[in-house]
Structure 1
Amino acid sequence: MSEATSGAGADYVPAALYAEVQQFYARQMNLLEGEAADPDAWAETFTEDAVFESAGEPEPQTGREDLRETVRAGVNHIAAQGLDFRHWFGMVGVEQRPDDTLRTRYYALAMATPQGGPLKIRGSLLCHDDLVRGEDGRLLVRRRSLDADGRER
């Protein structure tokens, strides 16, 4: 049986691996949202030496501890504003590399809703991740790159 390819000729990853990546992202984003937000657990979904690049920022963030502190401050800021904040990832593409790392490409929306107010989309992004396996076999982000739509380049 031949491997299926996309219109661009890339091989699809096995369905079980694709589902694992989707579940990883669902868990990761749920760790940022609502009263049960857990910045410490979210940071643990990155490698210790992770790099987090966000377009428009002068320098990438490096290291799990830096990410932990930044996201903790962000979660506290959102909670203080009384916002429901959500992330949506879609159109997730997964490429398995020869060294068994994964490269993902996806779109993300960041949305905020004040209590009793309308939903506001805070950002629309193109994202790329490099995912690796931790010692326990779980997926971890080694590198994340975010590029905001509409940003002057």
Structure 2
Amino acid sequence: MTTSAPAATAALTGLYAEVQQFYARQAHRLDAVRAEEFAATFAQDGEFEHSPDSPPARGREAIAEEVRGFNERRFADDPVQRRHWFNMLDVRPQDDGSIQTEFYALVVITRPGQATPVIAPSCVVRDVLVREDGHLRTLRRKVTQDHLSF
């Protein structure tokens, strides 16, 4: 028996909302540099490839270390508040139960005393999400910075 169009639309709408909420929580953890909490949003064997300056981090411990290390390398002498803005989210459930997503990300950087933020960089993010113990987790994330994709 096939799923009716309204039921399929409702299911996809619910999944879309769940994925958006997952990303909101994940971004809040990243922006606060709560590295272990951010890494916990990845599958046990998750992979995080976010910068051309860093090889992909594999596993939660390596992901947490990469987040901490990246922030220390880039911002140790430059106090900033970073905000990751995700938009234009495309959610595609797969037959194997995984979910492929693609979205745009802007990283907004604000410095003390400067009212005008800087957007650096603009990116495309491609994820594979899976469920572990009933919770969404990122299995694989690849971030491509727009200025490097020409």
Q: Normalising by the residue count of structure 2, what TM-score does the alignment of the two structures yield?
A: 0.84
Aligned to 2:123: 125
Instruction: Give aligned pairs, total.
Output: 145
Q: 1:22 to 1:3 in 2, by over 3 A?
A: same
Q: 1:38 to 1:92 in 2, by over 3 A?
A: same
Aligned to 1:41: 37
Instruction: Provide Cα deviations, 1:49-102, integer angstroms capped at 9, x if missing partner.
Output: 112224635742212111111112334554752211100000000000001110
Alignment of 1:2 with 2:5, yes or no, is yes
Alignment of 1:144 with 2:141, yes or no, is yes
Aligned to 2:23: 25
Q: How far apart are the structure 2 equivalents of 1:3 and 1:144?
A: 31
Alpha-carbon RMSD: 2.4
Percent identity among equivalent residues? Answer: 36
Unaligned runs of 5+ in 2: none
Q: How far apart are the structure 1 equivalents of 2:129 and 2:24?
A: 15
SS at match of 2:95: coil
On the 8 A contact 2:86/2:106 being kept in 1, the answer is yes
Q: How far apart are the structure 1 equivalents of 2:12 and 2:149?
A: 37
Q: Normalising by the residue count of structure 1, what TM-score does the alignment of the two structures yield?
A: 0.83
Unaligned runs of 5+ in 1: 5-10
Alignment of 1:100 with 2:100, yes or no, is no
Q: 1:80 to 1:44 in 2, by over 3 A?
A: farther
